[in-house]
């Protein structure tokens, strides 16, 4: 816990030391975060760059657009959304509102609880090269291979964060399972390419470069449920043909350095737009 | 016209001073004259397609681009790139440049740790050749680069220099020079470097026009002078056409300078036109003057002869040609409109200068002669003319077969004609710019472009996968037609983004609305503003191509149109637009305009000749010698693969102008000779003799002059020269073979021509039948009648004969008697009719059998107007008929009044002895 606090303090100092330089050289660069997690990154609209803050102009009514700095103005943005005071006339407007909401809710999710004295068993883990076995992927659907069980299974419902929903569990029709088996079930530099099969024996993976796959785009550390145990919040994006670039969030935690990762109990539950 | 010519001859110094003053005034405007080749001026004015394209350009923006092409085996070698980077920065800083597009600026959209990276391909210069090769390979996967900025072979790349689109266009030559200066350092670094764009093409065209005017024009004029000297041997006659042409060119250029009309590809032909068409009138006037001199007339008498014989002729030939060229001014294409107006005004100037200068100059110097006559056209020419006419008359069948065979053979070649309005082809194969374009076309997608605009009118249409795929469907079809062209669209950029996000080279276009919506967050509209409008209701596929010929382009666009009509979602509409389609539209308009012009000249010619001979058949037959050269021209173009373009269609129009001029001269001369000789054969011989000198000499001289132009390296000038020489020589053959043979098919010596001058001028106009009629109406009427001769005592008709005609006494006396059926007693005399009086009309109009006898008292000549002829006149010429019937009614009424007066005599009987006409 002490170690984790030191890490956090060091990060803050480093950032503060580089602030004048950043402000001087990169005036239009992303704004510094207003609070909490300076290490939270977003994909900046238009440029797609990795930034810790960005400015965005959003339509608030038919004839008016307003500029917001994210995450500094997230409270205002979420209030407008909750009040229904937003304007979404076009596909693009609608999608940008969604993105800003998602980013703000994610930022809020990480800042639910203050980062004070904390028990840390997650920062030492190399999530960028995580074994999928280590992650708390819900296997409830996979365990019930009966037709009734499969029919009743709703992968999205088994995972509040939608991860399973976006991971292909089955094989392509007509193909024998054996032809795909044998690869490591592991992220490599944040990327997993292949198919995932879950059965009674556990998780099996097939290496297929062109199949839908996953990229871990960020690992943030926060106490998402206020239990004074540091949690890791993993954000994945799906890759491959037909995938929609909507980040999927998977908070994980563990209570010992060698223990299994679990999904932390959330009270209150994760907000609906958090993905 | 005759009086006007004599007026100029009477005051020569005054009128020559006027010409000089006007020339000085025109010369003051020469400084304003500019050479300019503008792309817009080659397009159709008020073309709906152009209006649509303007709208499209407003929506998607227009980019005028000069491509800097760089060829090398190691394009991305670090040391070379350093030089290139510097040059590209300098190009971007030029005042007329908006920006540059190259591997230094085009984003290499990729994913780095799950986030986008849009740094340009050459944001960081490769450090090793291997890195460079890898970068090039990556760039070639980008459809917005492959074929456009990097050649598929990887050994050439381009920097697109995007020009500012301001109100004031930068001068092409200044722009070309500035770019050439800036890129000079690259020549040391790379194997081959050249800037190419339409600015370079226009600049080259303008330079060529100036060069051709400066070098070939004097050569052509020299050749023309030598030919005229050999033919005419009269210094004044040789110099006169050049003086009149030079003055009229000066006036025309002065007018162009004053009106701000530039010299361009089309208007640059006007000086040649003025020399060519203008000199024919000069030669004809001078030939007539010399002819009179050779016949022994003194200068004043020779001038009068020239004015009398040629005044009307030159006016008519001028009017025909003027109207023909003026009709080009009705064209929808700006340059042709300018050409039509300027060329017709130039011809007007030439006409004015000719009719002033020639009488005035001859009045002052007409006695100057080198040796008094031409070597070639001496007295024996009359015998040659006679022999020639007999020869072709004897071999008319062979001549007919031969000429028909030529025409048919040529006609078969006409469908082979290709249409090509591409200005870059004008430069010729030897032109450096043309060679650079050829290289560009080999390595890249070409300079030409068109767009397919697809729209729905509904916001965000193309952010829906269904409609995005409609766009992709059309784009793929176009791309599949020809691998060398480049079809790009908004979908390509989405595919690049998608590939970057999905970290897959084969990601392709997003498949669902959600995927598209997600990608749109990261799409900068400025990057795709050339492909999609702001609300994504309208998108365009930009196609760059190297299709050179108009026919091929028409086929390609036709296939695309057909595909769209058959396959595009009915909720969408699509139009093809762009420079290429406008060029196509301009080509159609140009050809239609030129054909319209040719037809107008021909129609006017037919009308004039028909009017002169009061016979439509003569007009139509006389058109044959003018149609023949046109058929030969187009046939040769078809077989020789010379395309129909703005230059070659001009040759057709000019050729028609010349051919019509010569034929009209021929026909007018023939008409004059017919009146005096009363024999068609004799008239034809004299016409050939009289016209041989001016027509042959001008034709030969002009053919030689044009052949000089055929040596030009500048393709349109060379083609124009070659075709014009062909047409003039063909027109010469046509005039001296087809015209005489065609004319001999008709009986042109009419009743009117056979009537003596006394009858035509004294008897007929004074007859009560023709009272109030104009001469041409009388002539029309006379031509529908016949002449009959009667000896004294001959019956013209007898009682109970059918009444089928009325009679006009031309000569002699006719007595009308009322037969009583008593052989012993003399029949009572009803009336007697002398010269100019009419009889036989009452029974004709009453449509009853004759009640009287008509007997010639002396040798009598009667003009007979049959019932059928009167019916024809009534049907075809109702105005003439109404006047005729009014005259007949008056005449019958007068005779009726006279008859009643006689009934009232005290004896109550007819006074037979007193009733003398």
How confident is the model over B317-342, as pLDDT tens digits? 788 778 777 777 777 777 777 888 88
* Whether A33 and A63 share a structural domain: yes
Q: Looking at CA atoms only, how far is residue A19 from chain B in angstroms?
A: 23
Select, from the ranges B437-441, B597-601, B764-768, B908-912, the one with the highest average predicted confidence (pLDDT).
B437-441
| Contacts of residue B358, Cβ cutoff 8 Å, sequence gap at least 6 | B240, B244, B282, B285, B286, B289
> Is A191's CB within 8 Å of B115's CB?
no
DSSP states along B720-761: HHHHHHHHHHHHHHIIIIIHHHHHHTS--S-HHHHS-HHIII
Number of Cβ atoms within 10 Å of the Cβ of B262 = 19
Distance of CA B356 to the CA centre of its chain: 28
> Is B113's CB within 8 Å of A190's CB?
yes
- For residue B758, the model assigns a pLDDT of 61
Comparing CA positions, the residue from B225, B233, B238, B240 lying closest to residue B16 is B240
Task: With beta carbons under 8 A apart, name residues in chain B contacting A245.
Answer: 501-502, 515, 518-519
The answer, yes or no, to whether residue B128 has pLDDT greater than 80, is yes
In-domain check, residue A262: no
| Contacts of residue B352, Cβ cutoff 8 Å, sequence gap at least 6 | B248
Interface test with A, best of B110, B111, B112, B113 (most A CBs within 10 A): B113
| Residue pair B881/B819 in contact by the 8 Å Cβ criterion | no
Give bridge partners of residue B133 from the DSSP assignment.
Answer: none
Q: Output the pTM of the full model.
A: 0.69
Comparing CA positions, the residue from B398, B399, B402 lying closest to residue B410 is B402
> Is B522's CB within 8 Å of A43's CB?
yes
Distance CA B593, CA B335 (A): 12
As a whole number, mean pLDDT of residues B872-892 equals 83
Beta B156-163 vs B64-71: how paired, if at all?
A: antiparallel
- For residue A156, the model assigns a pLDDT of 45
| Residue pair B705/B698 in contact by the 8 Å Cβ criterion | no
CA distances to B81, B91, B134 from B128, in Å? 12, 26, 10
CA distances to A268, B490, B609, B861 from B536, in Å? 41, 10, 64, 92
| Confidence band for B899, pLDDT divided at 50, 70 and 90 | confident
The partner residue sitting opposite A217, judged by closest CB among B113, B515, B536, is: B113
Look up residue B60 and give its two tokens: 């998607």
Q: Looking at CA atoms only, how far is residue A218 from chain B in angstroms?
A: 9
Residue of B nearest to A128 (CA): B113
The answer, yes or no, to whether residue B492 has pLDDT greater than 50, is yes
Helix B579-613 crosses helix B48-60 at what angle (to 10 degrees)?
160
Look up residue B364 and give its two tokens: 């002052």
DSSP states along B11-64: SHHHHHHHHHHHHHHHHTTGGG--B---SGGGSBTT-HHHHHHHHHHHHH---E
Lowest average pLDDT, out of B443-447, B503-507, B537-541, goes to: B503-507
Cis peptide before A268 (omega within 30 of 0): yes
> Is A48's CB within 8 Å of B535's CB?
no
Look up residue A51 and give its two tokens: 């930034």
The answer, yes or no, to whether residue A166 has pLDDT greater than 90, is no
In-domain check, residue A225: yes
Distance CA B172, CA A20 (A): 50
| Residue pair B149/B142 in contact by the 8 Å Cβ criterion | no
As a whole number, mean pLDDT of residues B28-49 equals 72
Number of Cβ atoms within 10 Å of the Cβ of B679 = 14
- For residue B564, the model assigns a pLDDT of 94
Look up residue A158 and give its two tokens: 């088994």
Residue B368: which region, alpha, beta or left (left: phi > 0; alpha: psi -120 to 50)? beta
In-domain check, residue A269: no
* Whether A93 and A133 share a structural domain: no
- For residue B476, the model assigns a pLDDT of 93
A65 in contact with chain B, both atoms CB, cutoff 8 A: no
Domain B7-33+233-375 homologous superfamily, CATH:
Multidrug efflux transporter AcrB transmembrane domain (1.20.1640.10)
> Is B511's CB within 8 Å of A45's CB?
no
Under DSSP, the state recorded for A198 is E
B214 in contact with chain A, both atoms CB, cutoff 8 A: no
> Is B521's CB within 8 Å of A246's CB?
no
In-domain check, residue A274: no
The answer, yes or no, to whether residue B549 has pLDDT greater than 50, is yes
* Whether A136 and A240 share a structural domain: yes
- For residue A55, the model assigns a pLDDT of 92
* Whether A206 and A154 share a structural domain: yes
Q: Looking at CA atoms only, how far is residue B520 from chain A in angstroms?
A: 6
Q: Looking at CA atoms only, how far is residue B512 from chain A in angstroms?
A: 7
The answer, yes or no, to whether residue B512 has pLDDT greater than 70, is yes
> Is B521's CB within 8 Å of A210's CB?
no
Residue of A nearest to B508 (CA): A241
Q: Where are the alpha helices (DSSP H) in B40-128?
A: 48-60, 78-92
The answer, yes or no, to whether residue A168 has pLDDT greater than 60, is no
**What are the pLDDT digits (tens) for B676-734?**
665 667 778 888 887 777 778 778 877 877 787 777 777 777 787 888 888 888 888 88
| Domain spans in chain B, listed from the N-terminal domain onward | 7-33+233-375, 62-203, 388-416+584-747, 434-577, 752-903
The answer, yes or no, to whether residue B592 has pLDDT greater than 90, is no
| Residue pair B43/B584 in contact by the 8 Å Cβ criterion | no
The partner residue sitting opposite B521, judged by closest CB among A50, A95, A217, is: A95
| Residue pair A211/A200 in contact by the 8 Å Cβ criterion | no
| Residue pair A186/A131 in contact by the 8 Å Cβ criterion | yes
| Confidence band for A146, pLDDT divided at 50, 70 and 90 | low
| Confidence band for A68, pLDDT divided at 50, 70 and 90 | very high
> Is A49's CB within 8 Å of B117's CB?
yes
Look up residue B103 and give its two tokens: 């591997």
A129 in contact with chain B, both atoms CB, cutoff 8 A: no
| Confidence band for B589, pLDDT divided at 50, 70 and 90 | confident
> Is A48's CB within 8 Å of B118's CB?
yes
Domain B752-903 homologous superfamily, CATH:
Jelly Rolls (2.60.120.10)
B128 CB burial (10 A radius; 0-12, 13-18, 19+) = exposed
B77 in contact with chain A, both atoms CB, cutoff 8 A: no
* Whether A58 and A160 share a structural domain: no
Give bridge partners of residue B333 from the DSSP assignment.
Answer: B44
Distance CA B302, CA B359 (A): 10
The answer, yes or no, to whether residue B489 has pLDDT greater than 90, is yes
Sign of CA pseudo-dihedral B555, B557, B558, B560: positive
The partner residue sitting opposite A245, judged by closest CB among B463, B518, B524, is: B518
* Whether A150 and A243 share a structural domain: yes
**What are the pLDDT digits (tens) for B17-27?**
888 888 888 88
> Is A46's CB within 8 Å of B523's CB?
yes
Query: Long-range contacts for B368-376 (Cβ within 8 Å, ≥24 apart)?
Result: B368/B235, B368/B236, B369/B234, B369/B293, B370/B233, B370/B234, B370/B235, B371/B233, B372/B293, B372/B294, B373/B233, B373/B290, B373/B294, B374/B231, B374/B232, B374/B233, B374/B234, B374/B693, B375/B230, B375/B233, B376/B230, B376/B231
**Domain B7-33+233-375 identical in fold to domain B388-416+584-747:** yes
* Whether A194 and A244 share a structural domain: yes
Q: Mean of the per-residue pLDDT values for chain B? A: 81
The partner residue sitting opposite B512, judged by closest CB among A190, A239, A244, is: A244
Distance of CA B657 to the CA centre of its chain: 9
B453 CB burial (10 A radius; 0-12, 13-18, 19+) = buried
As a whole number, mean pLDDT of residues B205-217 equals 74
| Contacts of residue B311, Cβ cutoff 8 Å, sequence gap at least 6 | B1, B2, B4, B5
The answer, yes or no, to whether residue A113 has pLDDT greater than 50, is yes
| Contacts of residue B113, Cβ cutoff 8 Å, sequence gap at least 6 | A50, A190, A217
- For residue A272, the model assigns a pLDDT of 57
Sign of CA pseudo-dihedral B817, B821, B823, B825: negative
As a whole number, mean pLDDT of residues B808-817 equals 88
The partner residue sitting opposite A241, judged by closest CB among B113, B460, B504, is: B504
Q: Where is A60: in which H helix or E strand?
A: strand A54-61
The answer, yes or no, to whether residue A153 has pLDDT greater than 60, is no
| Residue pair B389/B740 in contact by the 8 Å Cβ criterion | yes
Comparing B884 with B470, which gets the higher pLDDT? Answer: B470
| Confidence band for B566, pLDDT divided at 50, 70 and 90 | very high
| Confidence band for A14, pLDDT divided at 50, 70 and 90 | very low
> Is A92's CB within 8 Å of B512's CB?
no
Lowest average pLDDT, out of B289-303, B342-356, B446-460, B475-489, goes to: B289-303
In-domain check, residue A241: yes
Task: With beta carbons under 8 A apart, name residues in chain B contacting A59.
Answer: none
Task: With beta carbons under 8 A apart, name residues in chain B contacting A94.
Answer: 517
Share of chain B above pLDDT 70, in %: 89
Look up residue B284 and give its two tokens: 């004809």
Distance CA A240, CA A248 (A): 15
In-domain check, residue A74: yes
Give bridge partners of residue B856 from the DSSP assignment.
Answer: B814
As a whole number, mean pLDDT of residues B265-289 equals 77
Distance of CA B531 to the CA centre of its chain: 40
Lowest average pLDDT, out of A202-211, B139-148, B249-258, goes to: A202-211
Distance CA B601, CA B590 (A): 17
Tokens 């500029």: give the residue: A67
Distance CA B782, CA B869 (A): 10
Q: What per-residue string of b and e applies to B786-824 under the rule 16 or more CB within 10 Å gives b?
A: ebbebeeeeebbebebebebbbbbbbbbbbbbeeeeeee
> Is A243's CB within 8 Å of B502's CB?
yes
Look up residue B564 and give its two tokens: 């769209």
Share of chain B above pLDDT 90, in %: 13
Cis peptide before B423 (omega within 30 of 0): no
**What are the pLDDT digits (tens) for A48-65?**
888 989 999 888 887 888
Residue A72: which region, alpha, beta or left (left: phi > 0; alpha: psi -120 to 50)? alpha
As a whole number, mean pLDDT of residues B798-815 equals 87
Share of chain A above pLDDT 70, in %: 58
Comparing B888 with B298, which gets the higher pLDDT? Answer: B888
The answer, yes or no, to whether residue B479 has pLDDT greater than 60, is yes
Tokens 């810790």: give the residue: A52
The answer, yes or no, to whether residue B759 has pLDDT greater than 70, is no
Helix B697-709 crosses helix B646-677 at what angle (to 10 degrees)?
170
Lowest average pLDDT, out of A26-35, B183-192, B540-549, goes to: A26-35
* Whether A137 and A242 share a structural domain: yes
Task: With beta carbons under 8 A apart, name residues in chain B contacting A244.
Answer: 512, 514-515, 518
> Is A240's CB within 8 Å of B502's CB?
yes
B165 in contact with chain A, both atoms CB, cutoff 8 A: no
B119 in contact with chain A, both atoms CB, cutoff 8 A: no
CATH topology for the B388-416+584-747 domain: Multidrug efflux transporter AcrB transmembrane fold (1.20.1640)
Interface test with A, best of B109, B114, B520 (most A CBs within 10 A): B114
Give bridge partners of residue B863 from the DSSP assignment.
Answer: B787, B808
CB pairs under 8 A between A and B: 96
**What are the pLDDT digits (tens) for B381-431?**
667 777 888 888 888 888 888 888 988 998 888 888 877 766 676 677 778
- For residue B779, the model assigns a pLDDT of 74
B522 in contact with chain A, both atoms CB, cutoff 8 A: yes
| Confidence band for B909, pLDDT divided at 50, 70 and 90 | low
The answer, yes or no, to whether residue B38 has pLDDT greater than 70, is no
State the residue range of the domain holding A53.
Answer: 2-110
Select, from the ranges A26-30, A262-266, B115-119, the one with the highest average predicted confidence (pLDDT).
B115-119
In-domain check, residue A271: no
In-domain check, residue A118: no
DSSP helix/strand/coil, B160: strand
| Residue pair A77/A101 in contact by the 8 Å Cβ criterion | yes
Under DSSP, the state recorded for A188 is B
- For residue A24, the model assigns a pLDDT of 31
* Whether A104 and A138 share a structural domain: no
Q: What is the ipTM of this complex?
A: 0.75
Tokens 């407003």: give the residue: B58
- For residue B375, the model assigns a pLDDT of 46
| Residue pair B547/B420 in contact by the 8 Å Cβ criterion | no
Task: With beta carbons under 8 A apart, name residues in chain A contacting B506.
Answer: 210, 241
> Is B517's CB within 8 Å of A91's CB?
yes
| Contacts of residue B484, Cβ cutoff 8 Å, sequence gap at least 6 | B147, B441, B445, B446, B545, B546
> Is B114's CB within 8 Å of A215's CB?
yes
Residue of B nearest to A215 (CA): B114
- For residue B233, the model assigns a pLDDT of 67
B459 in contact with chain A, both atoms CB, cutoff 8 A: yes
User: How many domains does the structure of chain A reveal?
Assistant: 2
Chain B, window 527-546: residues with a beta carbon less than 8 angstroms from a chain A beta carbon: 535-536
A244 in contact with chain B, both atoms CB, cutoff 8 A: yes
- Strands, DSSP E only, in B94-180? 97-101, 110-112, 115-117, 156-163
> Is A48's CB within 8 Å of B504's CB?
no
């Amino acid at each position: 816990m002490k170690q984790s606090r030191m890490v956090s303090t060091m990060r803050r100092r480093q950032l503060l030391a580089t602030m004048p330089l950043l402000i001087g050289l990169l005036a239009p660069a992303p704004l510094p975060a207003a609070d909490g997690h300076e290490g939270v990154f977003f994909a900046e609209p238009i440029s797609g760059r990795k930034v810790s803050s960005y400015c965005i102009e959003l339509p608030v009514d038919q004839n008016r657009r307003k500029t917001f700095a994210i995450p500094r103005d997230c409270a205002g943005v979420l209030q407008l959304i909750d009040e229904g005071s937003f304007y979404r006339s076009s596909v693009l407007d609608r999608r940008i509102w969604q993105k800003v909401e998602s980013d703000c809710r994610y930022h809020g999710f990480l800042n639910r609880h203050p980062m004070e004295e904390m028990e840390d068993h997650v920062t030492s883990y190399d999530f960028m090269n995580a074994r999928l076995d280590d992650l708390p992927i819900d296997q409830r659907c996979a365990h019930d291979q009966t037709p009734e069980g499969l029919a009743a299974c709703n992968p999205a419902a088994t995972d509040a964060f939608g991860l399973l929903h976006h991971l292909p569990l089955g094989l392509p029709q007509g193909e024998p399972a054996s032809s795909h088996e044998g690869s490591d079930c592991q992220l490599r530099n944040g990327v997993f390419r292949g198919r995932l099969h879950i059965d009674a024996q556990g998780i099996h993976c097939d290496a297929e470069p062109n199949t839908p796959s996953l990229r871990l785009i960020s690992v943030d550390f926060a106490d998402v449920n206020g239990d004074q145990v540091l949690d890791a919040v993993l954000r994945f994006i799906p890759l491959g043909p037909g995938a929609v670039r909507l980040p999927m969030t998977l908070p994980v935690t563990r209570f010992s350095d060698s223990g299994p990762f679990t999904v932390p109990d959330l009270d209150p539950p994760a907000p609906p737009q958090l993905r | 016209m005759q009086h006007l010519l004599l007026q100029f001859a009477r005051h020569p110094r005054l009128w020559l001073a006027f010409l000089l003053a006007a020339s000085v005034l025109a010369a003051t405007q020469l400084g304003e004259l500019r050479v300019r080749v503008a792309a817009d001026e080659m397009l159709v004015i008020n073309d709906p397609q152009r209006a649509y394209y303007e709208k499209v350009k407003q929506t998607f923006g227009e980019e005028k681009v000069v491509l800097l092409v760089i060829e090398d085996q190691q394009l991305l070698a670090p040391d070379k790139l350093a030089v290139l980077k510097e040059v590209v920065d300098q190009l971007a800083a030029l005042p007329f440049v908006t920006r540059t597009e190259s591997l230094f600026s085009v984003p290499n959209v990729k994913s780095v740790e799950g986030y986008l990276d849009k740094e340009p391909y050459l944001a960081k210069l490769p450090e090793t050749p291997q890195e460079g090769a890898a970068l090039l390979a990556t760039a070639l996967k980008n459809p917005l680069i492959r074929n456009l900025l990097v050649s598929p072979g990887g050994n050439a790349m381009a920097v697109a220099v995007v020009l500012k689109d301001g109100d004031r266009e930068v001068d092409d030559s200044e722009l070309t020079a500035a770019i050439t200066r800036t890129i000079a350092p690259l020549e040391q670094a790379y194997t081959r470097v050249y800037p190419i764009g339409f600015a370079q093409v226009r600049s080259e065209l303008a330079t060529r026009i100036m060069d051709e005017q400066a070098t070939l024009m004097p050569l052509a004029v020299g050749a023309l002078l030598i030919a005229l000297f050999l033919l005419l041997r009269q210094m004044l006659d040789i110099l006169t056409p050049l003086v009149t042409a030079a003055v009229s060119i000066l006036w025309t250029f002065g007018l162009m300078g004053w009106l701000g009309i530039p010299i361009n590809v089309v208007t640059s032909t006007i000086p040649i036109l003025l020399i060519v068409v203008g000199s024919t009138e000069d030669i004809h006037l001078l030939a007539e003057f010399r002819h009179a001199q050779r016949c022994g007339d003194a200068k004043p008498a020779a001038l009068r002869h020239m004015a009398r014989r040629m005044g009307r002729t030159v006016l008519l030939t001028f009017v025909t040609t003027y109207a023909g060229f003026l009709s080009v001014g009705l064209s929808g294409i700006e340059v042709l409109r300018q050409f039509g107006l300027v060329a017709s005004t130039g011809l007007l100037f030439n006409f004015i200068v000719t009719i002033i200068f020639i009488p005035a100059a001859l009045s002052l110097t007409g006695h100057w002669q080198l040796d008094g006559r031409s070597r070639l056209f001496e007295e024996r020419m009359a015998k040659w003319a006679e022999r020639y006419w007999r020869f072709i008359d004897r071999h008319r069948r062979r001549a007919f077969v031969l000429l028909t065979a030529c025409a048919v053979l040529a006609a078969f070649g006409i469908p082979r004609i290709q249409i090509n309005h591409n200005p870059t082809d004008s430069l010729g194969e030897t032109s450096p710019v043309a060679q650079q374009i050829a290289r560009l076309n080999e390595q890249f997608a070409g300079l030409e472009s068109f767009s397919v605009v697809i729209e729905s009118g509904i916001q965000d249409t193309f952010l829906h996968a269904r409609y995005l795929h409609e766009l992709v469907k059309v784009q793929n079809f176009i791309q599949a037609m020809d691998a060398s062209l480049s079809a790009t669209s908004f979908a390509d950029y989405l595919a690049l983004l998608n590939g970057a996000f999905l970290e897959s080279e084969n990601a392709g276009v997003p498949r669902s609305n959600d995927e598209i919506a997600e990608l749109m967050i990261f799409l900068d509209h400025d990057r795709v503003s050339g492909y999609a409008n702001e609300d994504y209701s309208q998108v365009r596929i930009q196609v760059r191509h190297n299709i050179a010929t108009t026919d091929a382009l028409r086929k390609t666009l036709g296939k695309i149109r057909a595909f769209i009509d058959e396959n595009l979602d009915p909720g969408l509409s699509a139009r093809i637009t762009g420079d290429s389609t406008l060029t196509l539209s301009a080509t159609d308009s140009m050809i239609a305009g030129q054909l319209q012009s040719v037809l107008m000249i021909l129609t006017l010619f037919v009308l004039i000749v028909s009017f002169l001979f009061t016979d439509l058949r003569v007009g139509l037959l006389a058109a044959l010698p003018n149609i023949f050269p046109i058929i030969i021209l187009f046939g040769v173009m078809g077989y020789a693969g010379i395309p129909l373009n703005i230059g070659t269609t001009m040759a057709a129009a000019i050729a028609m102008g010349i051919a019509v001029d010569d034929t009209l001269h021929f026909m007018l001369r023939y008409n004059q000779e017919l009146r005096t000789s009363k024999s068609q054969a004799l008239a034809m011989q004299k016409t050939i003799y009289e016209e041989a000198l001016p027509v042959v000499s001008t034709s030969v001289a002009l053919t030689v002059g044009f052949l000089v132009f055929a040596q030009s390296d500048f393709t349109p000038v060379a083609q124009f020269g070659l075709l014009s020489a062909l047409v003039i020589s063909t027109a010469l053959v046509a005039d001296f073979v087809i015209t005489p043979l065609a004319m001999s098919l008709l009986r042109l010596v009419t009743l009117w021509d056979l009537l003596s001058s006394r009858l035509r001028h004294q008897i007929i106009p004074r007859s009560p039948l023709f009272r109030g009629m104009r001469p041409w109406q009388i002539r029309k009427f006379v031509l529908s009648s016949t002449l009959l001769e009667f000896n004294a005592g001959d019956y013209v008709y007898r009682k109970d004969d059918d009444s089928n005609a009325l009679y006009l006494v031309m000569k002699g006396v006719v007595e009308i008697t009322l037969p009583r059926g008593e052989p012993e007693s003399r029949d009572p005399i009803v009336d007697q009719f002398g010269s100019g009086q009419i009889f036989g009309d009452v029974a004709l109009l009453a449509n009853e059998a004759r009640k009287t006898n008509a007997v010639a008292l002396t040798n009598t000549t009667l003009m007979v107007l049959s019932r059928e002829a009167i019916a024809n006149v009534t049907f075809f010429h109702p105005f003439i008929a109404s006047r005729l019937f009014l005259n007949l009614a008056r005449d019958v009424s007068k005779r009726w009044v006279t008859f009643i007066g006689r009934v009232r005599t005290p004896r109550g009987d007819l006074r037979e002895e007193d009733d003398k006409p």
